[in-house]
Amino acid sequence: MTESTPTKAADPALDGPADTLEPPPARIHGWRAAWRELVKAPLTGKIGLVIVLVYIFTAIFAPVLAPYGETEVVGKQFQQWSSAHPLGTDNLGRDVLTRMIYGARNTVGVTFLTTCLTFVIGAATGLLAAAVGGWTDQMLSRIVDVLMAIPLLIFALLLLTIFGTSIPMLVLIVAVLESTRVFRLTRAVGMNIVVMDYVEVAKLRGEGLGWVMGREVLPNILSPLFAEFGLRFCFIFLLISALSFLGLGLQPPTADWGSMVRENAILITFGDFTPLLPAAAIAVLTIAVNLIVDWFLHKTSGLRDDH
């Protein structure tokens, strides 16, 4: 009765080793894969990407796009919107649109720099704690606990008051404080990788700490770190803007969205919403970055969901 069922696939592969079958078709790599991913992206992800690209474009080409100089006084104080000054002028008679455009460069640039530094510090210490364990892990973790015990904004204000408010100091202080969050994430995901057999193989081979951290563990935790990068960028952006608003962030006359809100806040009482525009710029960028992060998280978690 079973003879009626054709079993053509059953025999040819039997002569060779059963597991040395024909390799699967090669994966699509590089730009084409990236493009396909982009086309398949959800609408929200695409919107986020477009907005972020617009911001980056503005930041890079600020001197070309802006009608006036960054700190140039071009008219009277608090002028209404007009063709010469599309968004009016500020409390010193500078063009608001110009300062918005330069603000993209300053605020986004400083934030990006700070976020990168945050990840260098946080990921390095986190990997160290995960890979070495024991006392090193305890020490680093307790230091981080202490740093995290103090409210972030207040701690940053305190340190900036002590060390003074220059841009390098601002970047360094915010990066150190924010890196505690990255440390915890890196340590947690790193711990899951450190127990894998391939890390043990590397240790048995006699590999040094640097190899274990950088070559065995780090490549395997890049996707959660990347997602965290997006989120952390938003938080740092908001923190720096908040610090600027409070007068301890980017210092005048540098154009910055946070301080622009503060400088022109008085206009709100006259029913003019111009001071809210920098705040809106901050909000839109934050949302856009989060849209991209969501897309990315969805993609990476979707890959693991296939069993």
Closer residue to another protein, CB minimum distance, 1 or 162:
1
Among 19, 43, 149, 304, indicate the residue that binds another protein (CB under 8 A). Answer: 19
Residue 168 sits in the site that holds another protein (CB under 8 A): no
Closer residue to another protein, CB minimum distance, 142 or 215:
215
Residue 200 sits in the site that holds another protein (CB under 8 A): yes
Smallest distance from the beta carbon of 201 to another protein, in angstroms?
A: 6
**CA separation for the pair 155, 157 (Å, rounded):** 5
Residue 127 sits in the site that holds another protein (CB under 8 A): no
Binding region for another protein (CB under 8 A) out of 106-114, 156-164, 195-203, 280-288: 195-203
Binding region for another protein (CB under 8 A) out of 1-9, 72-80, 126-134, 255-263: 1-9
Residue count at the site for another protein (CB under 8 A)?
Answer: 34
Residue 198 sits in the site that holds another protein (CB under 8 A): yes
Residue 134 sits in the site that holds another protein (CB under 8 A): no
Residue 17 sits in the site that holds another protein (CB under 8 A): yes
Angle between helices 152-163 and 167-194 (to 10 degrees): 140
Residue 307 sits in the site that holds another protein (CB under 8 A): yes
Residue 304 sits in the site that holds another protein (CB under 8 A): no
Residue 7 sits in the site that holds another protein (CB under 8 A): yes
Residue 98: C-alpha distances to residues 70, 87, 238, 302 (Å): 6, 9, 21, 43
Among 136, 141, 220, 300, indicate the residue that binds another protein (CB under 8 A). Answer: 220
Smallest distance from the beta carbon of 187 to another protein, in angstroms?
A: 19
Residue 14 sits in the site that holds another protein (CB under 8 A): yes
For the chain, give the DSSP string: -GGGS--GGGSGGGSS-TT-PPPPPPPP-HHHHHHHHHHHS-HHHHHHHHHHHHHHHHHHTHHHH-SS-SS-B-SSTTPPP-SSSTT-B-TTSBBHHHHHHHHIIIIIHHHHHHHHHHHHHHHHHHHHHHHH-HHHHHHHHHHHHHHHHS-HHHHHHHHHHHH---HHHHHHHHHHHHHHHHHHHHHHHHHHHHTSHHHHHHHHHT--HHHIIIIIIGGGSHHHHHHHHHHHHHHHHHHHHHHHHTTSSSPTTS--HHHHHHHTGGGGGGT--TTHHHHHHHHHHHHHHHHHHHHHHHHHHHHHT--
Smallest distance from the beta carbon of 24 to another protein, in angstroms?
A: 6
Among 167, 168, 219, 243, indicate the residue that binds another protein (CB under 8 A). Answer: 219
Binding region for another protein (CB under 8 A) out of 162-170, 215-223, 235-243, 245-253: 215-223
Amino acid at the residue 110: V
Closer residue to another protein, CB minimum distance, 154 or 306:
306
**CA angle in degrees (0–180, nearest 5) for 181-185-189:** 170
Smallest distance from the beta carbon of 296 to another protein, in angstroms?
A: 18
Residues found near another protein in the complex (CB under 8 A): 1-3, 5, 7, 9-11, 14, 17-21, 23-24, 27, 196-198, 200-201, 203-207, 215-216, 219-220, 305-307
